[in-house]
Amino acid sequence: MSKAFPHMGLNASGEVKGACPHDCPDTCSLVTTVENGIALKVRGNPDHPHTQGVLCTKVSRYTERTYHPERVLHPLKRSGPKGSGRFERVSWDHALGDIAQRLQSIAAKDPEAIVPYSYAGTMGLVQGESIAARFFNKLGASLLDRTICSSAGTEGLIHTLGGKVGMKAEFFAESKLILIWGSNSITSNLHFWRLAQEARRRGAKLVCIDPRRTETADKCDEHLQLKPGTDAALALALMHELIVNNWLAHDYLAEHTLGWDGLRERALRWSPERASEVCGVTVEQIRSLARDWGTMSPAAIRLNYGMQRVRGGANAVRAVACLPALTGAWRHRAGGMLLSSSSMFPVDHAALRCPELLAGRTPRTINMITIGDDLLRPASPAFGPAIQALVVYNSNPVAVAPESGKVVAGFARDDLFTVVLEHFQTDTADYADYILPATTQLEHWDVHASYGHTDVLLNRPAIAPMGEARPNTEIFRELAQRMGYSEPCFAQDDLSLCRSAFGDRVDFDRLLQQGYASIEMADAPFASGGFPTPSGRCEFFSERLARQGLDGLPDHLPNHETAGTSAKYPLAMISPPARNFLNSTFANLRSLRDIEVEPILEIHELDAATRRIVSGTVVRVFNDRGEYHCKAQVSARARRGVVNGLGVWWRKLGLRGTNVNQLTSQKLTDLGRGPVFYDCLVEVEAA
């Protein structure tokens, strides 16, 4: 085995070190046991401090996914109408030749009519945007604004802390107070939950801030079950109480923050009484949380992206990100906050993507969350050419993008040429002209940063590619060659790309040997300021925003679709992740689907009673954008007035071939042009 695949790095006991590729903050270190070229099992690396030998249920089943009988293992060409899911097997040569020809003929008129569509199916830097980005840069295709997850929160952080920076994850174990804010850690950040448990054993208090009574909320000491999209109001009221009780670090405020006078004035307008009305939590809950934040130390916030999928998402992140500076929490290594650690990694994106291949062109940008509208848009001077070709990889837009009625109508266009690189015949792949079989994480090289800790991980292939599957990189190299692209950068191999990702800023030999390497950072990075903002301070007031004519201070912005404003659609719907799926990935794995059973809508007993709904009733959930059928679950997890449609199921596995995104809108967040999945009004009735 090690002779046949000498590059794979099997050790004597037949184990290969890798990295979990999924869009999850934990970025676990994997150990795959291989025998006779077959991966027998995947487990968590016991040596990696963050993984501690533990994987979530999903990825401990990774071999089931890799060897799944429904893996796409050969290139497929559509043989029925779009969306019918009928395909025939063709050779790589036929598929790549035809695709290159089709793309070339479109590009000859206008390359911007071609759009790449990708996200974080793999978080790998190499199988993500390396050769693929080079290919589209050379082509001059439209650029893609990759906003679907985190762009509002990212903007919020940039304008407050200066980037996606924060506490070192492991020090949460030493905190005395942890606010788990907009995050269901047990579901989506399991290894952080382990740290929170450790803190708790040492006497810490855990407070969950979430409109859903999640399994994480169940296990915290307190739960503030606020209305969706009201986090900024809560944060401002907390500031109000910190001010009136003088729970402030005046010296930290004076030395390391910008715009305190303005923020102070704004916060004083947010009495707990006012915020209580907006947020739907009691005045006493707000006062008590403020007292905890103002008087307990070290105090820390684990924020997650769940709270920024609403109109005011970026402002909400801004408001929350101000809180640690008010009390000087950053002075302690176990104090401060973490939303994402991404900006701590010195990734050399230019080395991977080769923007110089654009050769001075600045193609238009398509926002991935408005793909529904954009696929249906005719050519115009403002928009540019109608979209004629889509190349999809690492993403399943037909399931995950908002307002799927329009997304489906767009993908169903007969005059649209669609190529999908995939492991499985997803909802999106059903609409492809060609499906190209891609390798999984066990079959290719990659290198990973993380957004929940600060280690770089290397992923070595453990087994040879299944069937005729090829790494994304290889597929784009082959296409480049058929398009006549002769730049040497198209010949760079995957191991060399892994090296390029960090250049000499990460010890690659250590990665090869150990599988992971930590990024250097101070234990308490902002103990004496030094934020990566223009002023070097925590910016309560953002000059940069003010210069754009925007509010320089954070504020509460009500949802686009605020509950109580529509008689027709009185219920707010959020659609957070199901524990055993990762976005839409794993929805087709029998063993995991058996745990989730079927798509459900959690509804509060009073909301259910007035609609004659009981648990198990098939319900029609609807608004002006469409309707979705699933089973109701009358549940204490749902707050009154808010229904929880757990996502993201494959449409074709749902009751009538739709999922929650049939109802979500393509409206945008306040900053970052992000999606508002959790800012959505609906009505529910027994079907």
Ligand X SMILES: Nc1nc2c(c(=O)[nH]1)N[C@H]1C(S)=C(S)[C@@H](COP(=O)(O)OP(=O)(O)OC[C@H]3O[C@@H](n4cnc5c(=O)[nH]c(N)nc54)[C@H](O)[C@@H]3O)O[C@H]1N2
Could you count the other beta carbons within 10 Å of the beta carbon of residue 261? 10
Q: Binding to Mo ion by residue 149, rule CB under 5 A?
A: yes
Q: Taking CB under 6 A as the rule, does residue 190 contact ligand SF4?
A: yes
Partner that binds at residue 421, options Mo ion, ligand X, ligand SF4, none, CB closer than 5 to 8 Å by kind: ligand X
Identity of the residue, 56 or 668, whose beta carbon is nearer to ligand SF4 in the bound complex: 56
Counting residues that bind Mo ion (by CB under 5 A) gives 1
SS3 call for 103: helix
DSSP string, 425-474: --TTGGG-SEEEEB--GGGS-EEE--SSSSEEEEE---SPPSTT-B-HHH
Binding-site member from 306, 336, 525, 674 for ligand X (CB under 6 A): 306
What tokens does 261 get?
């006078």
Residues 519-538 that bind ligand SF4 (CB under 6 A): none
| 552 contacts 541 by C-beta, under 8 angstroms | yes
Under the criterion CB under 6 A, does residue 312 sit at the interface with ligand X? no
Q: Which is nearer to ligand X, 417 or 451 (CB)?
A: 451
Using rule CB under 6 A, residue 31 touches ligand SF4: no
Residue of 227, 220, 184, 214 lying closest to 316 (CA atoms) = 227
Please say which residue, 358 or 464, places its beta carbon nearer to ligand X. Answer: 464
**Tokens, residue 246:** 């003088």
Q: How far apart, in Å, are the Cα atoms of 242 and each of 71, 157, 245, 275, 320?
A: 55, 22, 5, 14, 13
CB 535 within 8 A of CB 255: no
Q: Which of 310, 338, 501, 589 binds ligand X (CB under 6 A)?
A: 310
Q: Does 579 bind ligand SF4 (CB under 6 A)?
A: no
Q: Residue 21 or 324: which CB sits closer to ligand SF4?
A: 21
Which residue's CB is nearer to Mo ion, number 55 or number 149? 149
Three-state DSSP class for residue 92: helix
Query: Distance between alpha carbon 219 and the CA centroid of its chain, in Å?
Result: 24
Q: Phi/psi at 282 (nearest 5 deg)? A: -80, 155
| CB-CB contact of 671 with 314 (8 Å) | yes
20 touches which of Mo ion, ligand X, ligand SF4, none (CB within 5 to 8 A by kind)?
Answer: ligand SF4
| Residues 75, 95: Cα–Cα separation, whole Å | 7
Question: Which one among 58, 78, 176, 212 touches ligand SF4, defined by CB under 6 A?
Answer: 58
Is residue 24 a contact point for ligand X (CB under 6 A)? yes
Provide the Cα torsion 421, 575, 669, 543; round to 10°. Answer: -100
Degrees to nearest 5, angle at CA 437 with 432 and 442: 140
CB-nearer residue toward ligand X: 253 or 398: 398
Structure tokens that stand for 615 in this block: 């648990």
In the list Mo ion, ligand X, ligand SF4, none, the entry touching 404 (Cβ below 5 to 8 angstroms by class) is: none
559 binds, among ligand SF4, Mo ion, ligand X, none (CB under 5 to 8 A by kind): none
634 counts as binding Mo ion under rule CB under 5 A: no
Whichever of 582 and 646 has its CB closer to ligand SF4, that residue is 582
- Based on the shown chain and the rule CB under 6 A, indicate whether residue 24 belongs to the binding site for ligand SF4: yes
* 3-state SS assignment for residue 411: helix
CA 61 – CA 242 distance, rounded (Å): 47
Q: Is 574 in the site for ligand X (CB under 6 A)?
A: yes
Q: How many residues does the chain have?
A: 687
Torsion of CA 8, 479, 111, 425, to 10 degrees: -70
Partner from ligand X, Mo ion, ligand SF4, none contacting 190, C-beta within 5 to 8 A by type: ligand SF4
Structure tokens at 200: 């708790």
Q: Is there binding between residue 26 and ligand SF4 (CB under 6 A)?
A: yes
Work out how close the CB of 24 gets to Mo ion at its nearest, in angstroms, rounded to a whole number: 9
Interaction between residue 239 and Mo ion (CB under 5 A): no
How far is 388 from 125, CA to CA, in rounded Å?
28
Binding-site member from 276, 583, 617, 633 for ligand X (CB under 6 A): 583
Q: Which two tokens stand for residue 169?
A: 């994850």
Binding to ligand X, residues 91-120 (CB under 6 A): 119-120
Near ligand SF4 in 37-56, by CB under 6 A = 55-56
Check residue 18 for interaction with ligand X (CB under 6 A).
no
- Binding segment (CB under 6 A) for ligand X, from list 10-18, 100-108, 183-191, 267-275: 183-191
Residue 493 sits at the vertex; the CA angle it makes with 492 and 497, to the nearest 5 degrees, is 80
Contact residues for Mo ion (CB under 5 A)?
A: 149
Contact residues for ligand SF4 (CB under 6 A)?
A: 20, 22, 24, 26-28, 55-56, 58-59, 190, 582
Contact residues for ligand X (CB under 6 A)?
A: 21, 23-25, 119-122, 127, 148-149, 181-184, 187-189, 209-212, 214, 228-229, 231, 304-307, 310, 393-396, 399-400, 421-424, 426, 438, 472, 574-577, 579, 581-585, 647-648, 660-661, 664, 677-678
